[in-house]
């Protein structure tokens, strides 16, 4: 889940920090093109875990886009990484710009009960200064394309803590449909938060 494109408070999002120009300015088409040309989407590796730990820890401590409450250790992320394969239900794709890992998208277990096995939960996180530049769409699309090939995956679900217009727009662009609303479904930073559930049918 990506942070909102607008600044709505330290613990609900932040303003985009564009790589060129003043904060909050609109990047030029040339800037975006250069970034996308230099962006590589690939499968995650264990060596990516320090970068992925730093990315998720920002969202844990500074925002409500994840309901995790405790910062992740490197050992935790290495254990987390062991669940992923190249052709199964649980996969990890990363975005890399000029040899720097700037974001990732993953499919994870949806629920412990065995009948939910054909469903996966998806998530996406980007470095704050790479939000709004089209990278999230590329890495998330790559994940969904891989899931479509997996016979054991029937549905993908994404949870978006509200308000989060950037993430809502991204899910809708990628073919997710609204599946429901968890009214005040989570409690973080001293208040309750609504959560919207999105469903992707993966062409199945």
| Pairwise CA distance, residues 158 & 128, whole Å | 20
Q: Is 14 helix (H, G, I), strand (E, B) or coil?
A: coil
Q: What is the pTM of this model?
A: 0.84
Strands (E), the chain: 39-43, 92-97, 100-109, 119-126, 155-161, 177-188, 191-200
In the predicted model, what is the mean pLDDT of residues 12-39?
A: 49
- Of the chain, the end-to-end C-alpha distance in Å amounts to 23
Facing residues of 159 across strands? Answer: 197
Q: What is the pLDDT of residues 113-130, one digit of tens each?
A: 999 999 999 999 999 989
For the domain covering 29-200, report its CATH number: 3.40.630.30
Q: What is the pLDDT of residues 93-115, one digit of tens each?
A: 999 999 999 999 999 999 999 99
Output the pLDDT for position 21: 36
Domain boundaries, the chain: 29-200
């Amino acid at each position: 889940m990506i942070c909102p494109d607008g600044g709505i408070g330290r613990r609900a999002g932040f303003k985009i920090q564009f790589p060129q120009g003043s904060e909050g300015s609109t990047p030029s088409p040339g800037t975006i093109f250069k970034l996308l040309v230099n962006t590589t989407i690939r499968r995650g590796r264990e060596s990516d875990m320090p970068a992925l730990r730093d990315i998720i820890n920002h969202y844990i401590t500074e925002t409500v886009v994840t309901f995790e409450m405790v910062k992740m250790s490197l050992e935790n992320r290495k254990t987390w990484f062991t669940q992923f394969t190249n052709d199964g239900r649980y996969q990890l794709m990363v975005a890399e710009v000029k040899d720097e890992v700037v974001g990732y998208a993953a499919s994870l277990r949806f629920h412990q009960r065995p009948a939910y096995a054909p469903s996966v939960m998806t998530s996406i996180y980007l470095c704050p200064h790479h939000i709004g530049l089209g990278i999230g769409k590329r890495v998330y699309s790559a994940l969904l394309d891989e899931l479509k090939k997996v016979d054991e995956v029937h549905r993908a679900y994404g949870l978006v803590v509200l308000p989060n217009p950037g993430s809502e727009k991204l899910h809708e662009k990628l073919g997710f449909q609204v599946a429901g609303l968890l009214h005040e479904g989570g409690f973080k930073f001293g208040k309750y938060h609504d959560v919207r559930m999105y469903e992707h049918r993966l062409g199945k």
